[in-house]
Amino acid sequence: MTNMDKLYASVAANGPVCVGLDTELSYLPESAVDSTKTAGENVVAYNRALIDATKSAAGCYKVQIAYYESLGLDGMRAYAETLRMVRETGLPVIADIKRGDIAKTAEMYAKAHFTGDFEADLITLAPYMGLDSISPYLPYCKDQGKGVFVLCRTSNPGAKDFEYQKLADGRHVYDLVGDSISALGQDYIGETGYTSLGLVIGGTHTEEASAIRAAYQNTFFLIPGYGAQGGKAADIARYLNKGNGGVVNSSRGILLAWKKQPGVDYAEAAYNECVRMREDIQSECDKL
């Protein structure tokens, strides 16, 4: 099985919620901060509690490296430990690193994030230097079953600046990216029929949802934008294939769930939000 196959199986078992461990120290309640520990150690303890609480309701986890890099060496130790903790659960972990370089540099990024201390099951990539910014990762997809999610049509307002620009043939730039990655991925199809080359498809621009899903039937989607960024379950459900074929990320909505559930332990609050989110999305999938 490829890691994308494992992700499919995990979504089938637990639902499509992707818990974003974009953990900033300021997100922690006072009760979760130990003044005798470093910032990174406190982040690890918080992540451990949330992983333990949500692993039965999460399809996967996504760890955004920037939050850990901002803490220096202490943060990078926390990053490595967080990846390790998730992998110990058996659930897939996505390293949100958005690398986009070429040649030997990309080879070193691939080695750094598909092996060793920072090993993840899947990673995010930026394609705008061309397909040679993707190709150095493909040997890991072929030989180890690793997977990538390539930025295609993102959830931020600035997506309109470049991704929505029209080409001479009438397609958008995001269509060109999606078509190119889909074609490249045909050589990396797993047991479930999905390729190891997925796409990041934001859930906040919903007009094209059905067309995008229909265009890339064997491509797994990483779908940011639910909740804090304005994505609604009714729209996001259209990016899924009968509730699978994608994972829906929520970071602040889960990390800060304790703020909206007074008197509830922060880990329990995170679990409650995962379940609520999963049921919200599933109910909309059932209507399609």
**Residues labelled as active-site residues:** 98
For residues 60 and 21, what is the distance between their CA atoms, to the nearest angstrom? 11
Cα distance between residue 236 and residue 35, in whole Å: 40
Cα dihedral 266→8→182→235 (10° resolution): -50
Q: What stretches of the chain show up as alpha helix (H) in DSSP? A: 3-14, 39-54, 65-69, 72-89, 103-114, 138-144, 159-162, 173-185, 209-215, 233-236, 252-255, 266-285
Compute the CA torsion angle 88, 85, 252, 206 (nearest 10 deg). Answer: -30
Q: Name the pairing type of β-strands 93-99 and 147-153.
A: unpaired
Spatial contact of 176 and 202, defined as CB atoms under 8 Å apart = no
